[in-house]
Each structure stands twice: as structure tokens, then as C-alpha cells.
Amino acid sequence: MKATELLKTDHRNVIELIHQAKRVGRRNALLLNRIYDNYKVHTECELKVFYPEMKKLEREEIEKNIEEHREMDRLLDELMVIRIVKGKDAFMEDLIAFEQKIQEHFQDEEANLFPAAENQLLEKLDQLGDRIEDLKIDLRTGGYGMAA
């Protein structure tokens, strides 16, 4: 499958899990772990496979995106820590802050970076897709077992 299609599916999965967590309205550890693992697997695939390839074509955009991932990582790490020590309301506020940041980032990728990849990488997209699928297997059998 094309790398961009795989990455878009990841986006939808992560957003859907966040919506579920909001609907549940409390600190559900299992759901939070699934958000964490799915987001981390997606990020690793972008940082290790997709972004390096696109950096040759869209250097500034990729640097901006890497910076955004640092910020999202920070928000998510905070969310994982505060879920225990903070009350429900504070947790939901932080969850919504993470959702907003991630949604902006995903929309931006789908509006700009992915169309650029589809125009410029052409048949290489399937090759990158294969590499992403392999990396996902490694990551899920490694540290991110909840991600499936």
C-alpha cells in the first residue's frame, strides 16, 4: 500500500481513539495506552521512513513537522504522567489540548505534505509503504505491543 494511505489510516485510528477517550470521559488506562502506542508507532514511521525521504524535497516543511512532533510528544508524555496525579477535569483539559495539536498537525500533513509526496515520489510510495509496514511489525513486537 502507498505510504501516504498507511499514514492516513494511522491518523484516523489515533483520532478515533482520542474521541473514544473523550466519550468515556474518565482516565481509562487501556485506552490511553492504545493512544500512546498508536501515536508512537505512527511517529516512528514518519521520522524513520517518510520524513527522511521527503526532507530531500520539502526541507523546511519537514523541519517544522519534526518540531511539532516534539511538542506533541511532550503533551502526550505529560498526559501519561498526569493521568494518575491530576483530577479528571485537568486530565480532560490536557487530552483536549493534545487532540487539538495533533488534529492540526494531521490536517496539515494531509493537505500539504501527502499531496506533495504523491506528486513527487510516485511509484516510490509503495516501496516506502512496505518499509513502513515492516517497521510497524518490529515496533509492535517490540515496545509498543498495545498498538494493534
Q: Which is nearer to Fe ion, 44 or 78 (CB)?
A: 44
Q: Is 46 in the site for Fe ion (CB under 5 A)?
A: yes
Place of cell 523541519: 63
Q: Is 53 in the site for Fe ion (CB under 5 A)?
A: no
Q: Which is nearer to Fe ion, 94 or 109 (CB)?
A: 109
Name the one range near Fe ion by CB under 5 A: 27-35, 46-54, 78-86, 137-145. Answer: 46-54
In the region spanning residues 103 to 142, those forming contacts with Fe ion, defined by CB under 5 A, are 109
| Three cell numbers written together for 63 | 523541519
What is the Cα–Cα distance from 64 to 120, expressed in whole angstroms?
20
Per the CB < 8 A criterion, the answer to whether 31 and 21 are in contact is yes
Task: Mark out the alpha helices in the chain (DSSP H runs).
Answer: 3-24, 29-45, 51-55, 59-85, 88-108, 114-120, 124-141
Q: Which is nearer to Fe ion, 37 or 46 (CB)?
A: 46
Shortest CB 73 distance to Fe ion, Å: 11
Enumerate binding residues for Fe ion (CB under 5 A).
46, 109
